[in-house]
């Protein structure tokens, strides 16, 4: 196999494509284009291809190419289900069955990402032909991506399998038990700490020092370490590497902009499915989900004069190609044909709001207001003034909802702040976690199901 063909194979398959969480992949025929990992980790090109393969796992429609962010808005009050897929209806109704194939696919896509990262972490140190600097850079990227995926797993399922070694054969090493969420957070932070020194300052579409710091801020917010979240957000802000774009709409028409801390790259060869699932048939999509419709209150969440509303939800005058997009349709993703919409995984506005929330909870109301108002003023709104701590926290929650709408945050925000049950009318608190996929509990005897399923 030539270097070029090996590189292309790895970029596409990401090193065998094995899932760390299940034996199911071993029951399927091996693709003819797959390669043995002993043939992969032999030189610089092989290692580079394996790292690119981790990013490739993120772009799956079962992960950041569609399901993970969409379900986080669909399970909450930002999206309505207006299509025909029953698995989406289960998610909208917070009545997800254990055999829900989309829930299963998200789970396996995340653990496929983790396994690809683990292969790089385990194998790259033994490649003598590459420099120590390059070796450390590859390891840092893999650690960052493993951290990102583990954190995403705990957001949906709570206590999850913490997988730190690669799997390549269907044996007992696949049967990893669940770890407490707190332990997963600790490992995520440890991976970020190990990764950060060897990550570059600039690396478009890939892990950077700033992306690691920003992810740390997000994780600390979830674990309610307000001091840690504020410190990490302040570090990003003080670096002056990022800024809010003058126009909110330009965030989604300008790829890898000054506001983007980390963007998942899509093109005609690696396609996103987001636009296809948001836009109607007349605009080339299937319109499975919508920010307007039953059980979505997003349109009424915007204040009068908020420029983000018409930049996120069509008012009927938005033109895509030569056709208008009907009023009420989500327009953050606009290429249903070739799927080239990048996914904004971490952007500067989120960091400002993380800093605002952390400072508010620490009692630094002036510092919190300053950060909150940077986001509001960009949206054409008047600054908030003179708020009490409870009122300020409510204002930040409101700002997160409209600033980050349809970007995969709303469900997690409601759950972590304890407001999901009251706002969404959820009677059974067990429904605040998604079920562990049935196929996983069958294949792995050490995996327990979440209560209530």
Q: Are the beta carbons of 111 and 75 closer than 8 angstroms?
A: no
CA dihedral 328, 332, 337, 338 (to 10 degrees): -170
Give CA–CA dist 310/111, Å, rounded. 37
Full set of structural domains in the chain with CATH: 1-26+35-199 (1.25.40.390), 219-265+345-426 (1.25.40.390), 271-341 (no CATH)
Confidence bin at 309 (pLDDT 50/70/90): very high
Distance CA 71, CA 83 (A): 14
Q: Is 402 exposed, middle or buried (0-12, 13-18, 19+ CB in 10 A)?
A: buried
Task: Return the structure tokens found at 344.
Answer: 């904004």
Q: Is the dihedral of CA 327, 396, 208, 237 positive or negative?
A: positive
Q: Which residues contact 66 (CB under 8 A, 6 or more apart)?
A: 272, 273, 274, 277
N residues, the chain? 453
Per-residue pLDDT tens for 82-141? Answer: 999 999 999 999 999 999 999 999 999 999 999 999 999 999 999 999 999 999 999 999
Please give the pLDDT value at position 36.
54
* Model confidence at 1: pLDDT above 60: no
Q: Categorize the per-residue pLDDT at 13 as very low, low, confident or very high, splitting at 50, 70 and 90.
A: very low
**For residues 438 and 444, what is the distance between their CA atoms, to the nearest angstrom?**
10
User: 10 Å Cβ neighbour count for 8?
Assistant: 15
Distance, C-alpha 437 to centroid of its chain: 19
User: Is 442's pLDDT higher than 90?
Assistant: yes
Helix axes 365-378, 348-362, angle to 10 degrees: 150
Q: What is the mean pLDDT of the chain?
A: 92
In angstroms, rounded to a whole number, what is the distance separating the alpha carbons of residues 63 and 137? 25
Mean pLDDT over 194-223 rounds to 98
Report long-range pairs for 310-319 (Cβ below 8 Å, ≥24 apart).
Answer: 311/247, 311/248, 311/249, 311/252, 312/402, 312/405, 312/406
Q: Is the pLDDT of residue 18 over 60?
A: no
Q: Give this prediction's pTM.
A: 0.92
The pLDDT score that the predictor gives to residue 171 is 75
Question: CA-CA distance, 312 to 124, in Å (whole number)?
Answer: 43
Which pLDDT value is given to residue 38? 64
The candidate with the shortest Cα–Cα distance to 400, out of 134, 91, 78, is 78
Query: Token pair for residue 129?
Result: 């032909």
> What is the three-state SS of 53-76?
HHHHHHCCCCCCCCHHHHHHHHCC
Q: In the structure, what pLDDT confidence band is assigned to residue 170 with cuts at 50, 70 and 90?
A: confident
441, pLDDT greater than 90: yes
Q: At 179, is the secondary structure helix, strand, or coil?
A: strand
- Phi, psi for residue 262 in degrees, rounded to 5: -150, 125
Helices (H) and strands (E) in the chain, counts: 18, 8
pLDDT band at 169, cuts 50/70/90? confident
CA 145 to CA 260: how far, in whole Å? Answer: 17
Which tokens in the block code for residue 223?
A: 């674990």
Tens digits of residue pLDDT in 395-422: 999 999 999 999 999 999 999 999 999 9
């Amino acid at each position: 196999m030539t270097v070029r063909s090996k590189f292309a194979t790895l970029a596409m398959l990401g090193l065998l494509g094995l899932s760390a969480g299940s034996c199911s992949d071993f029951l399927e025929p091996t693709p003819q284009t797959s390669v043995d990992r002993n043939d992969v980790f032999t030189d610089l090109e092989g290692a580079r291809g394996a790292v690119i393969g981790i990013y490739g796992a993120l772009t799956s429609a079962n992960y950041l190419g569609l399901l993970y962010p969409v379900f986080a808005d669909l399970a909450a009050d930002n999206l309505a289900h207006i299509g025909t897929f029953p698995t989406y209806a289960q998610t909208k109704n917070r009545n997800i069955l254990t055999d829900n194939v989309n829930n299963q696919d998200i789970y396996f896509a995340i653990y496929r990402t983790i396994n690809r990262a683990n292969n790089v972490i385990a194998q790259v140190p033994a490649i003598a032909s590459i420099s120590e600097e390059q070796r450390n850079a590859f390891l840092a990227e893999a650690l960052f991506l493993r951290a990102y995926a583990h954190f995403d797993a705990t957001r949906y399922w709570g206590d999850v399998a913490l997988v730190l070694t690669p799997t390549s054969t269907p044996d007992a090493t696949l049967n990893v038990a669940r770890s407490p969420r707190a332990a997963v957070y600790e490992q995520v932070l440890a991976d970020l700490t190990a990764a950060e020194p060897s990550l570059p300052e600039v690396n478009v579409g890939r892990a950077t020092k700033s992306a690691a710091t920003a992810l740390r801020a997000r994780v600390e917010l979830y674990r309610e370490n307000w001091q840690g979240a504020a410190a990490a957000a302040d570090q990003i802000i003080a670096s002056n590497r990022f800024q809010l774009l003058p126009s909110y709409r330009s965030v989604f028409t300008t790829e890898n902009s000054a506001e983007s801390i980390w963007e998942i790259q899509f093109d005609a060869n690696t396609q996103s499915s987001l636009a296809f699932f948001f836009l109607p048939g007349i605009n080339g999509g299937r319109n499975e989900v919508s920010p307007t419709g039953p059980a979505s209150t997003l349109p009424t969440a915007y204040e009068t004069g908020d420029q983000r509303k018409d930049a996120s939800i069509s008012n009927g005058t938005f033109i895509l190609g030569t056709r208008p997009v009907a009023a009420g349709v989500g327009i953050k993703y606009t290429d249903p044909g070739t799927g080239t919409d990048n996914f904004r995984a971490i952007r500067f506005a989120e960091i400002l709001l993380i800093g605002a929330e952390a400072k508010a909870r620490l009692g630094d109301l002036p510092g919190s207001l300053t950060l909150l108002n940077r986001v509001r003023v960009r949206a054409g709104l008047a600054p908030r003034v003179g708020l009490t701590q409870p009122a300020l926290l409510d204002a930040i929650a409101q700002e997160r909802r409209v600033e980050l709408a349809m970007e995969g945050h709303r469900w997690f925000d409601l759950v972590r702040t304890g407001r999901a049950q009251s706002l969404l009318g959820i009677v059974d608190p067990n429904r605040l976690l998604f079920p562990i996929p049935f196929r996983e509990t069958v294949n792995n005897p050490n995996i327990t199901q979440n209560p209530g399923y």
